[in-house]
Structure 1
Amino acid sequence: MKTNILSQYNKTIFYTYFAVLALALVASLWVLNKNRNEALAERFGQIKTHEHQVELLLDSGVRAVTSLNQYAIKHLSLAEAPRIELLLSYYYYSYNSIDKVFEIVPNVKEEVQDKFEMGMITGAGDLKQRSNEYYREMDMLFEMNLSFPVAMEMVPDAAWVYYLSANDFIGIYPWPGDGYAFSDNTYNNPAYQGAVESNNPERSVYWTDAYIDKAGKGLMTTVGVPLYVDNQFYGAIAIDITLSSLSEELMPLSGLNGQMMLLDKKQQIMAQSSGIENASTQEVQPLVDSLPQALKNISTDELFNMTEGRLVNGYYIQAVPLVNAPFKLIYFEPQSELFANSWRQFVMSLVSIMLALSILVSVVHWLANQSFIGPASKLMLHLEECAKEPVEPPKGISEGWQPFFVLISRIFSENKNYTLQLAEDNRQLDIQVAQRTEKLRETTQQREHEYALLRSLIDSIPDVIFYKNTKGEFLGCNKAAHQMFGASEEELLGKRLHDLVTPALAKQLQHDDDLVIKKRKTVTVQQQLMLQSNDKLWQTQKTPYTGIDGELLGLIGVARDITQEHEAAEKLRRSEERYSLAMDAVEEGLWDWHINTDELHCNPAYFTMLGYKPSDVLPSWHGFRRLVHKSDWSGVAEKLNIHLADPHQPYEQEFRMLAQDGSYQWVLARGSVVEYDDLNQPTRMLGTHKNITKRKEFEREIVAAKQDAEMANRYKSEFLANMSHEIRTPMNGIMGMIQLALQTKLDHQQHDYLDKARNSAHSLLHIINDILDFSKIEAGKMELEQVAFNLEDVLDAVINVNVIAAQNKHLELLLISPNAPMSLIGDSLRLTQVLTNIVSNAVKFTNDGFVELNCHVVERSHERVRLEFSVRDTGIGIDEEKLPTLFSAFSQADGSTTREFGGSGLGLSISEHLVQMMGGEFSVESHLNEGSKFSFTIDFDIENQQQQLPWLLPSKLQSAPLLLVEHCERTAQVYQHLLEKLGFKVTTVTNPSGVEQTDYHVVLLDWSIEQDIEALKILSQQQPQAVIFLLVNYGDDAMKSPQIADIVDGIFSKPLSPLDVIKRVTQYMEQRPVEVPKQEPEILSKGSILLVDDNIINQQVAKGLLESQAYEVELASNGQEAVDAVMAKQYQVVLMDIQMPVMDGLTAAQEIRKVYNMHELPIIAMTAHAMTGDREKSLAAGMNDHITKPLVLKEMFDTISRCIDESDAAQ
């Protein structure tokens, strides 16, 4: 117990001393930090002082050239031009006629003045017959040459003082030598180039970079100043200064442990505190060669930014830019030298504080021992004595401790009385021990069983296990060792290696055993052993084992056959070598990132694509991060984290990396995780880097080009919108007037003329719409409507538009009547547009033969039908090479300037887009000079209520014989097929003279080519009962001829219309007109309409059309008049133009909506604005609907009727 208490007390004392040590260390560290900061501040001030001293050294050169410059300006401003004879009276002049240079030196005797102490003036050409300005400048140089020695004294390190004139001469001091002469190369001197205005626009003092003097004076720099008088450049005044002496000046200035360097603009060393070793060599030493190895990875720009002093890589660095020259001072010093005194003070402080605190703790320890620890130790001793035999308390114990001693004596005296009781207890304990012994025997048996199990386990281990004593004799082994040595365990016991293997092998293995036994350390070796005729590679680990008392008992060995593992490792090594070679050969940057260790292995291309060498970049992820642009790093880190969290997500990212030249290059990074740890966490990632800077630049150019194109498209759309409005306005008048004219009493020919004029106007409008359509297609805003239409009306419209052009070229324009349903659902306008374009192209490119429009059913169901439309011609055909670009916008099959046929090249491109939007696809068959066939298929819905043919052939006329006289074979085939479908029994001949049958009911004679009146008379006589019709070209009124009118009953314009044939034949054969069951438009209820339009013709057209439907119409010419009229009178509908003077239609609608809502007074926009978005603008202004000019009657009347009905229903 005494020992434990004293031990705890001693531990307390120990920890106290340890705390004293820690406190002393903390205090000393604080002192160390304070001293370091003071040392940094002191060094900063010293460097600033040295900077000022260097400035003073360099300022002497500035003052010298400035003084000479002021003297020269003053002399040139005041001096008169002297005579050349006077100038040369005190100088020796010579002229070299071969080199064409002159030389002037002072005319003094050599014994009076050494040549080197004299100046020289040399220049190009002869000195005679020069201008006054030249002599004035030469006089200035003579005078200034006397001041050159003074300038040399002002600048102790000056080597040369000279004036270099722009007039091809130079004055230099001191004398440069006999071989020196002026040459044109003198102007290539940096001292002169620094004065030229293009290099020195401020005309200030300049300094050159460090260079090696060609005269052998070592490393030098030049300070100079340009000479200007009245803005005229005369030349340069310069002083060459040797830099080796400047280094000698820096050495006593420094007084510091570090290195101070003076650098020029090219970061070359001009002077340094330790001197320049290569001052006399032919090279200028760059800064990077003199930097310590630890600072070579820091860029010079970063070094020069350390103007406040920094600690980097174990060095203190401070850079100071100079004021009087474009140079920089840089100072670097090892931290160990800078803070050497601080460390000494740190050690002294630590020792002093520890010593003081230790003394304090020792005094406290002595006082505690006297007052507490000593009596407590005696108390423990008394306690131990009483444990052996109760004794009385000892004498000399202080009163405060006596009660404790008495208490202990009494307690042990009482305990003695319990001894007998304890003896009985011991007897009982012996009984329990016997019982425990039995249990121990059972436990021993269990342990033997466990040993047997352990032995079995060792034998089951495939590795060889053996154990020996310190003599090297085998004590045992497992079954794997039997196979290794070829002997059983019993045979191995007591044997040594020499008994089992060859002496050489035994000696080799015994060496490892001796090392384990003697040095008691584990040995692991790999050895190629020949055992049992098997040559294998074994890895053996031998470990010493000791007893409980630490005595060495022997060694345990574990051997494993690693032959296969070694071969696999060798294969892996070779594979990795091939992998490394492959990485080096790939042009893209390959990287291998070990995530846990932060190692980054890259191929050379990873560095060279950015201009680096592999040694320039740290081989770690941190080194990679330093190269990534700061703005891009957050995105790079985020993408990487996403991929590492879910490696199934692909990692691909573009970002910028810093190149060696300081620029940022765009890089495309791809990669994936390839290795994981036991917790399935990524440990390795492979990837590539690809420099995509050029691609990025190309993309930026594409974006800029796209923006330019979009701007051009916007301008084009605005232009098209304006042109659409300006064209639609007169077109509305044309089409409206035609419509009004058609409502008057007309004969058949007049009605036919106006009907075709109306169709042509519609086609012209469609052509105008082509331009808008192409714009819409480009913008992706083209839309199709789905409404009911009559297929035959579409085909007739297409034929009527192109018939005149075909007949003008003597072409047969044929329509093969379709067998398709007549009433379909789709966009008839776009279908007409496509067919019109194809047919018109066929007519344009066909000079002889025919153009045929055909439509037939490909597939049909109850509700839908697939139709194939085709246009075939016998024209010029298309070259197969032109077919791939046939549907390109603005392209022509013949794009030459001499092409015969015109066209914008938009038609087929628009047609192809429209067919594709309708779900179809174009196909073209064409051969040059053989004609072409354009075809496409489209699916249509069939309207539920099928409309019947408006004309029907009466049943009594069915199978009536009809004679067709047609010269063109193809036309005859088409017309015969059409007439037979109508119910006639047709006979076709090419010449009427050969007809024998005389009972034809109807005769159709082609009159468009051969007009033989005699043959017509004969035919009339042969067929007295027949109704005779002539087939004529469009617009040919053959009935005006009395001879013909007496013979024939009527005419048909080509191509034949089946509806026209039924009507006219039935009328003549039954001698009564058969009217087409035409559905009259519903007469709307009478109402008042306010028509607002600033165009008088459009007013007249719309007013006439509306009044024909029993509307009362009042007119207004602008938006303000419309607002005033609405406020004065109640109307049922307002038809509002948009673009008008005074007030436009949108503003007028907004004003009206302040009083009337949409149901109280409907407003319909009626405008030539048909561009995308115009309808939305009208509705946003408060209008009920929007219709475009030229007006479509059915659309206009339906819209008016619907708006009136909705208004009545709302009220």
Structure 2
Amino acid sequence: MHYQAGINTVFRRYNITVVVAFIVIILIAFSAASFRYFDQISQHKQQSLAEIQQEALQLNLMLEQSVEAVVGIQEYAEYLLKHPNEINIPMPSLLQEEDMFYLNKPLHDVIKQGKRLSSNITGLGQVSQFGALKKQEIAMANALTPAFVAAQNILKEATWFYYISLDNFVNIYPWVDREIWQFSEKALDSQHNKSMRVLTAKDNRVIWSPPYLDAAGGGMNASLGTGVFHQDKLLGSVVIDLNLSRLHASLPELESNTQGFVLYNKNNDVLLSKRLGKESLSYRASWQDLLPESLQGLTAKHLATIGDSERLGDWFIEKQLLTANGWTLLKYQRYEDFSAPQYSDFIFVFSMLFIGLLAFLMLVNTMTKRTFIKPTTEFISHIEYCAVGDPGKVSPAADWLHWFQVVEDIFAQNRSLLLQLTEQNDVLDSRVIEKTKALQETSTKHQRDYALLRSVMNAIPELIVFNDPDGLLMGCNKAFERLANHSVDQMLGVNSANFMPIPLAKEIKVLNALNKNVYPQQALI
């Protein structure tokens, strides 16, 4: 029973070790897969951020080209105004119709005759009353047409180029017949033109307009313009209209309807939005119209405070600032979709590690049971059988045969020694019995002798007293008991003189003094 309890304890500890090893395998597999997952997520974020940086760089390049174009045309316009004699630019022929005047060119059918490489000048006022400065300004505006043509060949996203004068006229390219469009004073009252009126010659810069819907039906546009000065006086501005749908087309295609691009400015104006299966914007849209519900509370101010890539709830946000004009390109997608490849890889790696380590544990467990647990169990059983004298019930493996034989030899020797010990115990027992019997016989003889001596002493009529060296009574005969009127048991350990008559006691004292208190061996009668 004790052996069985020990075996159960050993195997229980072994099973606990296997369970602990199994838990450790799970932790190792999970830790390794998690480390790989977060490392891949970090790399994926860096790669995704690099992609949006590249897309933002492409947009920024387009916008910088637009800025360079409008600044170049503005510098050319101011040069023409500053050096009218150096470059002899004639005043174009103008046609007066009531209060309006136009560039004197015949009507042009773009569909039948193709694109016209000419701009159109239209404005308010009487040509006959124009002063020298206005004529010089109109000549300059007309001379900008080649620059407009060259800029459009570079800026594919640009739709309109024009010079708008504060003196109520405009030169617009490409050509637009006056039956379709003509100058109106309302053009000078636009928000963009008003913002350029505050420019000075020392603080001249490119100003971008908010997004607006193109009157020609081309979708959402944004304009950039800068002032044209002559002798520190603002005469007008060079403006380029950009079609945002063409910027929309330059962005990469999306893979899911939960992804999207948004281009916005500092005033939270949405310039473009790209989503899967959706066309470019053809109306003024707000955040609430375009973004998922949980992101609709975002603002440009809030987004400026977060990093270039950030997780906001269930969404993953990436953004890049366009240095050309301060616009921001934002990409949003569900974090679940963003991390799906890495999560799948995490599950795969975890499964492979878990299965591999579990298979290794099972192999080790099987080999341990086969090479150690089973032989050990048989060995312990062999020990139990040997202990009861039946060693042949378990057949050992070849590797364990030596140890089985050692156990059998040990138990055989133990049995031989135990037999010898038993025999010696029997011999000792017989001797003890003999000695005990002899002692009993001796004791019986001594008792008989004592009884005989006692009876002799009690038969003597004289007084007999036995004292120890201190004079204390050790024994007496019946005659002394009768004299002392006490039994011997009552007088044991007491000075015998206390029980004698006074004369006898004095004689005893004198006798003791003569013998120097060494009591004589003879009896006192």
How high is the TM-score relative to the length of structure 2? 0.67
**1:368 aligned residue:** 368
After TM superposition, the structure 1 = structure 2 runs for residues 981-992 of structure 1, keeping only pairs within 5 Å, are none
Equivalent AA in structure 1 for residue 402 of structure 2: E
Distance in 1 separating the partners of 2:162 and 2:375: 100
| 1:163 corresponds to 2:163 | yes
- Which residue does 2:95 correspond to in 1? 94
Q: Counting helix residues as a fraction of each chain, which structure ranks higher?
A: 2
2:55 equivalent to 1:55: no
Distance 1:46 1:280 in 2: 23
Contact kept in structure 1, 2:254 and 2:260, CA below 8 Å: no
Q: Tell me how far 1:108 sits from its aligned partner.
A: 7.9
Q: Which whole-Å deviations, capped at 9, do the CAs of 1:1115-1167 have from their partners, x for residues lacking one?
A: xxxxxxxxxxxxxxxxxxxxxxxxxxxxxxxxxxxxxxxxxxxxxxxxxxxxx
CA displacement, residues 486-525 of structure 1 (integer Å, 9 cap, x when unaligned): xxxxxxxxxxxxxxxxxxxxxxxxxxxxxxxxxxxxxxxx
Residue number in structure 2 paired with 1:132 = 132
Contact between 2:268 and 2:299, CA under 8 Å: does it hold in 1? no
Q: Using a 3 Å threshold, how does the CA distance of structure 1 residues 113 and 265 change in structure 2: closer, same or farther?
A: farther
- Return the alpha-carbon distance in structure 1 between the equivalents of residues 16 and 411 of structure 2: 27
Query: 1: distance between equivalents of 2:73 and 2:52?
Result: 32
SS in 1 for 2:144: helix
After TM superposition, give the deviation of residue 356 of structure 1 in Å.
4.0
Aligned residue type for 2:103:
I
Counterpart residue number, 2:41 = 36
CA, structure 1 residues 344+300, in 2 after alignment: closer, same or farther (shift >3 Å)? Answer: same
Q: Does the 8 A contact of 2:225 with 2:238 survive in 1?
A: yes
Alpha-carbon deviations, 1:181-204, whole Å to 9, x = none?
Answer: 222211112342232126998210
Aligned counterparts, 1:651-1050, within 5 A:
none
Contact 1:251 1:274 in 2 (8 A): no
Distance 1:201 1:209, change over 3 A: farther
**CA offsets per residue over residues 431-462 of structure 1, 9 Å max, x none?**
xxxxxxxxxxxxxxxxxxxxxxxxxxxxxxxx
Which residue number in structure 2 is paired with residue 180 of structure 1? 181
| C-alpha distance 337-277 of structure 1, shift in aligned 2 (>3 A) | closer
> 2:403 maps to which residue?
400
1:69–1:227 contact (8 Å) kept in structure 2: yes
- Show the counterpart of 2:229: 228
Offset of 1:207 from its aligned partner? Answer: 0.9
Confirm or deny: 8 A CA contact 2:200 2:232 kept in the other structure.
no
CA–CA distance in 2 between the matches of 1:50 and 1:327? 13
Paired with 1:376 and 1:83, the residues of 2 have a C-alpha distance of 114
Shift of the alpha carbon at 1:33? 1.8
1:636-651 correspondence runs (5 A): none
Q: How many residues align?
A: 404
Select 1:75's aligned residue among 66, 77, 80. Answer: 80
* Residues 732-772 of structure 1: per-residue CA shift (max 9 Å, x gap): xxxxxxxxxxxxxxxxxxxxxxxxxxxxxxxxxxxxxxxxx
Deviation at 1:319, TM superposition (A): 2.8
Deviation string for 1:5-55 (max 9, x for gaps)?
545433432332221121121122122222222222222222222221111
Once the two structures are TM-superposed, the CA of residue 227 in structure 1 deviates from its matched residue by 0.6
Measure how far apart 1:246 and its partner are.
0.9
Q: 1:296 to 1:252 in 2, by over 3 A?
A: closer
What is the CA-CA distance between 1:140 and the residue it aligns to?
Answer: 0.8
Name 2:219's counterpart in structure 1: 218
Gaps of 5+ in 1: 415-1211
CA distance in 2 between partners of 1:353 and 1:279 (Å) = 47
Distance in 2 (CA, whole Å) between partners of 1:184 and 1:163 is 14
* SS of equivalent to 1:79: coil
Q: C-alpha separation between the residues in 2 aligned to 1:109 and 1:294?
A: 52
After TM superposition, list the pairs within 5 Å mapping 1:258-269 onto structure 2.
258-269=259-270
**Which structure dedicates a bigger proportion of its chain to strand?**
1
Q: 1:6 to 1:160 in 2, by over 3 A?
A: same
How far did 1:300 drift?
A: 4.0
SS at the partner of 1:172?
strand
- 2:31 aligned with 1:26, yes or no? yes
The question of whether the paired residues in 1 share the 8 Å contact of 2:119 and 2:145 is answered with: yes
Residues 276, 159 of structure 1: alpha-carbon distance in 2 compared, 3 angstrom cutoff: farther
Taking the aligned partners of 2:87 and 2:34, their CA distance within structure 1 comes to 80
Quote the Cα distance in structure 2 between the aligned partners of 1:393 and 1:406.
13
Deviations 1:870-895 (A, max 9, x none): xxxxxxxxxxxxxxxxxxxxxxxxxx
Aligned AA (2:127): L
Whole-angstrom CA distance in 2 between matches of 1:371 and 1:275: 64
Q: Distance in 1 between matches of 2:311 and 2:70?
A: 40
Give the distance between the partners of 1:318 and 1:200, measured in 2 at CA: 39
Contact 1:304 1:319 in 2 (8 A): no
CA deviations 1:518-563 (Å, max 9, x no partner) are xxxxxxxxxxxxxxxxxxxxxxxxxxxxxxxxxxxxxxxxxxxxxx
CA contact (8 A) 1:226 1:236 kept: yes
| Aligned amino acid, residue 350 of structure 1 | F
Change (3 A) 1:263 1:135: same
**Counterpart-to-counterpart distance in 1, 2:345 and 2:277:** 35
- CA gap of 1:184–1:268, structure 2 versus 1, over 3 A, is same
Judging changes above 3 Å, is the alpha-carbon distance between structure 1 residues 258 and 105 closer, same or farther for their aligned structure 2 residues?
Answer: farther
Match for 1:284: what amino acid?
Answer: R
Partner letter of residue 79 of structure 1?
P
- Work out whether residues 220 and 244 of structure 2, in 8 Å CA contact, stay in contact via their aligned partners in 1: yes
In the TM superposition, 1:350-499 aligns within 5 A as 350-379=350-379, 391-394=390-393, 396-397=395-396, 398-402=401-405
Instruction: For 1:202 and 1:328, locate their aligned partners in 2 and report how far apart those are by CA, in whole Å.
Output: 25
Structure 1 residues 81, 196: CA separation in 2 closer, same or farther (over 3 Å shift)?
Answer: farther
CA distance in 2, matches of 1:118, 1:17: 82
Deviation (angstroms), 1:260: 2.7
In the TM superposition, residue 234 of structure 1 has moved relative to its aligned partner by 1.0
Q: Deviation at 1:302?
A: 2.1
Contact 2:120 2:171 in 1 (8 A): yes
Deviation, structure 1 residue 272: 3.5
CA gap 1:191/1:338 in 2 versus in 1, 3 angstroms? same
Distance in 2 separating the partners of 1:189 and 1:359: 76
| Residue 106 of structure 2 corresponds to residue 103 of structure 1 | no
Whether the 8 Å CA contact 2:123–2:170 is kept in 1: the answer is yes
| TM-aligned CA distance change 1:278 to 1:38, over 3 Å | closer
| CA distance in structure 2 between the partners assigned to 1:341 and 1:121 by the alignment | 58
Q: Tell me by how many angstroms 1:109 deviates.
A: 6.9
Q: Structure 2: 5+ residue runs without aligned partners? A: 419-525
Structure 1 386/200 Cα, relative in aligned 2: closer, same or farther at 3 Å? farther
CA offset digits 1:162-181 (Å, max 9, x no partner): 11001111111123341422
Q: Contact conserved, 2:319 with 2:330, CA < 8 A, in 1? A: yes
Q: Check whether the contact 2:29–2:350 (CA below 8 A) recurs between aligned residues.
A: yes
The match for 1:121 is 121
Structure 1 residues 298 and 234, CA gap change in structure 2 (3 angstroms): closer
Kindly provide the amino acid, as one letter, of the partner of residue 247 in structure 2.
L
Closer, same or farther: CA 199–30 of 1 in aligned 2, 3 Å? farther
Q: State the identity as a percent.
A: 19
AA at the equivalent of 2:292: P
- Secondary structure of 1:87's match? coil
CA contact (8 A) 2:385 2:393 kept: no
Alignment check: 8 A CA contact 1:212 1:219 kept? yes
Deviates more, 1:227-236 or 1:183-192: 183-192
After superposition, the Cα gap between the structure-2 partners of 1:193 and 1:245, relative to the gap in structure 1 and judged at 3 Å, is: same
Q: Who is 1:601 aligned against?
A: none
Match of 2:204 in 1: 203
Evaluate the alpha carbon distance shift between residue 83 and residue 368 of structure 1 in structure 2; reply closer, same or farther with a 3 A threshold.
Answer: closer
1:395-431 per-residue CA deviation (whole Å, 9 max, x = no partner) reads 54322245557889999xx9xxxxxxxxxxxxxxxxx
The answer to whether the Cα contact below 8 Å between 1:105 and 1:118 also exists between their aligned partners in 2 is no
SS class of match (2:325): coil
User: Residue 271 of structure 2 aligns to a residue in which SS?
Assistant: strand
Tell which structure's C-alpha radius of gyration is larger: 2
